[in-house]
């Protein structure tokens, strides 16, 4: 039995002693009374009675030993700028932001919604909320106004923080009009909007009495010292919304103490990072990876973290490797989609820069195919470690753990169960343990380890009914992913068991896209499925039935309607959810009970066997689908 296997076994069999030791990695204002309260399964409370603050652990506690060390390095290939903040400078900026936010009436337990580009002020705002004991909810800056409004109504924030614009590929995305529209649509709009004006949108309109200019307020609060608010470990740190199979997004609620411990622990055991070194995570702060491994994880661990605004191929395909060389990055974290984009570029870019500082490159977000995994490993000459996790878990579920024991990389596999996770791969039919080489549903026996979601914001019932329904008699958390384990214990992820698709690491519910498509007045019915895509992993494909078939009499009519449907999705969800194509049919395949056969549609779209079709109500529907796909 290897060192890691022993480590993992102890985390399951001697859970409380194991996590009590890991908890010593962070600063507790007041020690916890007990490690775990699991009297109300499946709800778990970790480090009960302990008092802690995420901002203090990320910044204040490092000031004495590493106040002058770079904490945050901001690099924008969009504006060709770079700024570095030491821990002492970051402390000053976060205190000013905290003073500005507090001046808007925000205090402990209040929600603050952030709709921000990848700029330092986004990080300042997250940490400032943590300092004040406020609950931040970051909404990815690419989401449309309607999606933003639904999150506003669920979180009911007291303040919204935004910027005039974001930049992507040299194109400005004006945030303020989207925010104004979201607040117009929302039933519970915040009282104030705090705006970071980058000078990109020179036509930006301000609403007197509601909109507050950050630069003006920051000047008023220069030199502010805002005291830390100590939270009980189980109090929420943030809400992060994720798509589900219903149209309503789920607010993943994260605790404070368990999250801090899990991140501190993972920085050493999984990522093998060391205080004083540099970590470069290429995600966005709007996603869970950005929360955990751009902002909180590296800073809690005393590392330098890089905040990058831009694309992996702008100004050229060497930009990321140039950053690795110049900042002596030791730990890098990216996505399979980015790897597939880089795979299409001239390989000379990978040889141009000195990558000797880099120890490991981690990938996560969607399943990593074996050819891309092998290519990247060979191209950079460094271990490329695929690992698997979810917004809900906040940190990895499957990984190798180079900080504990070197392990052989198997291409296409994210490795072994991470310590703390009691993983079970079960047959869907009878919940029995799947044999080696046999497909099963990946589940976790509660209690979920520290750092995982504690509930769905404002809806404990939805937490149970969503995540513990696959095998309700056993009360197991379902990842909603199929997996298979080989004879050596390596797990391979095969795809979703539900109607959520993974587009370049962004999880989108097919139901949400269907609702957006149906916003077009001529759409009577629609089915959306995720189909394999060489770069993004999956892309949505829509099959639609129109109300007035006369609009599709010629190619021009078909193309016009398709463009209009795409625009409806852009308006309601954002371009991130735009289908690859909208294919028009006269009927959709359903069972006699009226259930849409989405898995059969997906199989046909990917050229696979559609499976058992004995329950289909009208076989002509599938024949029509096949003809449309061929043409």
CATH number at residue 613: 3.30.300.30
Per-residue pLDDT at 340 exceeds 70: yes
Q: Please write the tens of the pLDDT for every residue from 269-326.
A: 999 999 999 999 999 999 999 999 999 999 999 999 999 999 999 999 999 999 999 9
- Between CA 76 and CA 167 the distance in angstroms is 10
Boundary-marking domain end, from 197, 229, 261 = 229
Average pLDDT over residues 536-560: 88
H/E segment holding residue 23: none
User: Does some domain include residue 181?
Assistant: yes
Pick the more confident residue, 467 or 249: 467
Average pLDDT over residues 379-398: 95
User: Does some domain include residue 112?
Assistant: yes
| DSSP code at position 575 | G
The pLDDT score that the predictor gives to residue 309 is 97
Q: What is the CATH number of the domain that holds 117?
A: 3.40.50.980
Per-residue pLDDT at 489 exceeds 70: yes
The pLDDT score that the predictor gives to residue 88 is 98
User: Does some domain include residue 200?
Assistant: yes
- Between CA 420 and CA 449 the distance in angstroms is 5
Per-residue pLDDT at 181 exceeds 60: yes
Dihedral of the CA atoms 407, 408, 410, 411 (nearest 10)?
110
Question: What residue spans of 14-104 are helical by DSSP H?
Answer: 15-22, 54-58, 63-66, 87-103
Query: Which of the residue ranges 20-29, 144-153, 208-217, 384-393 would you say has the lowest mean pLDDT?
Result: 144-153
Pick the more confident residue, 615 or 380: 380
Average pLDDT over residues 473-497: 89
The pLDDT score that the predictor gives to residue 227 is 98
Measured in degrees and rounded to the nearest 5, phi and psi for residue 231 equal: -105, 145
pTM of the model: 0.85
The pLDDT score that the predictor gives to residue 591 is 60
Q: How many helices (H) and strands (E) does the chain have?
A: 21, 32
The pLDDT score that the predictor gives to residue 615 is 53
Q: Which two tokens stand for residue 59?
A: 């910044």
Helix (H, G, I), strand (E, B) or coil at 273: coil
Residues 6 or more apart whose CB falls under 8 angstroms from that of 72 comprise 84, 85, 90, 120, 123, 299, 304, 305, 307
Q: Which two tokens stand for residue 87?
A: 């821990």
- Could you tell me if 587 and 622 are in contact, meaning their C-beta atoms sit under 8 angstroms apart? no
Residue bearing tokens 């499946």 = 42
Q: How far is CA 110 from CA 91, 122, 158, 527, 566, in A?
A: 22, 18, 6, 39, 36
User: Does some domain include residue 234?
Assistant: no
User: Does some domain include residue 598?
Assistant: yes
Render the burial of 19-52: b for 16+ CB within 10 Å, e for the rest: bbebbebbebeeebeebbbeeeebbbbbbeebbb
Q: Which two tokens stand for residue 548?
A: 């007035």
User: Does some domain include residue 77?
Assistant: no
Query: Which of the residue ranges 108-117, 259-268, 603-612 would you say has the lowest mean pLDDT?
Result: 603-612
The pLDDT score that the predictor gives to residue 1 is 45
User: Does some domain include residue 255?
Assistant: no
What is the phi-psi region of residue 4: left when phi exceeds 0, alpha when psi lies from -120 to 50, beta otherwise? alpha
The pLDDT score that the predictor gives to residue 605 is 85
Q: Please write the tens of the pLDDT for every residue from 397-451.
A: 999 999 999 889 999 899 999 999 999 999 988 899 999 989 899 999 999 999 9
Boundary-marking domain end, from 229, 260, 287 = 229
Query: Which of the residue ranges 8-22, 306-320, 326-340, 532-546 would you say has the lowest mean pLDDT?
Result: 532-546
User: Does some domain include residue 410?
Assistant: no
H/E segment holding residue 6: helix 3-13
Boundary-marking domain end, from 199, 229, 259 = 229
Residues of the chain above pLDDT 90, percent: 71
Q: In the chain, how many domains are there?
A: 2
Q: Quick count: other Cβ atoms within 10 Å of Cβ 605? A: 22
The pLDDT score that the predictor gives to residue 402 is 96
Closest CA to 504 of 275, 319, 284, 188: 284
Helix (H, G, I), strand (E, B) or coil at 506: strand
* pLDDT band with cut points at 50, 70 and 90 for residue 352: very high
- Between CA 593 and CA 589 the distance in angstroms is 11
The pLDDT score that the predictor gives to residue 498 is 66
The pLDDT score that the predictor gives to residue 532 is 85
The pLDDT score that the predictor gives to residue 244 is 60
Domain with 513 in it: 500-630
* Average pLDDT, rounded, for the chain: 92
Per-residue pLDDT at 30 exceeds 90: yes
Average pLDDT over residues 171-192: 96
């Amino acid at each position: 039995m290897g060192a890691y296997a022993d480590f993992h076994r102890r985390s399951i069999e001697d859970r409380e002693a194991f996590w009590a030791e890991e908890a010593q990695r962070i600063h507790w204002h007041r020690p916890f009374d007990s490690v775990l309260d699991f009297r109300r399964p499946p709800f778990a409370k970790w480090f009960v009675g302990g008092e802690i603050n995420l901002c203090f652990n990320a910044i204040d506690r490092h000031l004495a030993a590493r106040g002058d060390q770079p904490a945050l390095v901001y690099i924008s290939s969009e504006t060709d700028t770079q700024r570095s903040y030491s821990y002492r400078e970051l402390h000053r900026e976060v205190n000013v932001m905290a003073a500005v936010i507090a001046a808007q009436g925000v205090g402990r337990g209040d929600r603050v919604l952030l709709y921000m580009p990848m700029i330092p002020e986004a990080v300042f705002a997250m940490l400032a909320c943590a300092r004040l004991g406020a609950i931040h909810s970051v909404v990815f800056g690419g989401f449309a106004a309607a999606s933003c409004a639904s999150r506003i109504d669920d979180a009911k924030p007291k303040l919204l923080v935004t910027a005039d614009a974001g930049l992507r590929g040299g194109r400005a995305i004006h945030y303020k009009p989207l925010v104004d529209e979201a607040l117009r649509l929302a039933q519970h709009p915040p009282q104030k909007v705090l705006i970071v004006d980058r000078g990109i949108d020179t036509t930006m309109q301000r609403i007197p009495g509601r909109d507050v200019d950050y630069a003006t307020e920051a000047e008023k609060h220069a030199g502010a010292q805002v005291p830390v608010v100590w939270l009980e470990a189980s109090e929420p740190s943030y809400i992060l919304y994720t798509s589900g199979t219903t149209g309503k997004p789920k607010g993943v609620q994260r605790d404070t103490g368990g999250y801090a411990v899990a991140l501190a622990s993972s920085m050493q055991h999984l990522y093998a990072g060391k205080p004083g070194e540099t970590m470069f995570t290429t995600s966005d702060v709007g996603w869970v990876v950005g929360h955990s491994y751009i902002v909180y994880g590296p800073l809690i661990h005393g590392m330098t973290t890089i905040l990058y605004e831009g694309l992996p191929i702008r100004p050229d395909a060497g930009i990321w490797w140039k950053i690795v060389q110049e900042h002596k990055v030791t730990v890098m974290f990216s996505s399979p989609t980015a790897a597939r984009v880089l795979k299409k570029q001239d390989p000379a870019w990978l040889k141009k820069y000195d990558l000797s500082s880099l120890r490991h490159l981690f990938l996560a977000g969607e399943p990593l195919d074996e050819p891309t995994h092998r290519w990247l490993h060979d191209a950079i000459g460094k271990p490329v470690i695929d690992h698997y996790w979810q917004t809900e878990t906040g940190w990895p579920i499957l990984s190798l753990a180079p900080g504990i024991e070197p392990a052989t990389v198997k291409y296409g596999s994210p490795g072994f169960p991470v310590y703390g996770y009691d993983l079970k791969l079960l047959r869907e039919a009878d919940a029995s343990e799947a044999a080696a080489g046999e497909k099963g549903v990946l589940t976790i026996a509660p209690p979920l380890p520290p750092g995982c979601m504690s509930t769905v914001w404002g809806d404990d019932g939805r937490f149970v009914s969503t995540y513990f329904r696959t095998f309700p008699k056993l009360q197991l958390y379902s990842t909603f992913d199929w997996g298979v384990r080989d004879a050596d214990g390596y797990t391979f992820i095969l795809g979703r068991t539900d109607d959520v698709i993974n587009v370049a690491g962004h999880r989108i519910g097919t139901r949400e896209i269907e609702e957006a498509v149906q916003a077009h007045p001529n759409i009577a019915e629609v089915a959306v499925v995720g189909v394999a895509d060489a770069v993004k992993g999956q892309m949505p494909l829509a099959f639609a039935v129109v109300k007035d078939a006369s609009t599709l009499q010629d190619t021009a009519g078909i193309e016009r309607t398709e463009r209009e449907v795409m625009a409806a999705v852009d308006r309601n969800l954002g371009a991130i959810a735009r289908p690859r194509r909208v294919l028009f049919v006269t009927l959709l395949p359903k069972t006699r009970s009226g259930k849409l056969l989405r898995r059969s549609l997906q199989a046909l779209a990917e050229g696979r066997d559609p499976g058992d079709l004995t329950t289909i109500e009208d076989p002509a529907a599938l024949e029509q689908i096949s003809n449309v796909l061929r043409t």
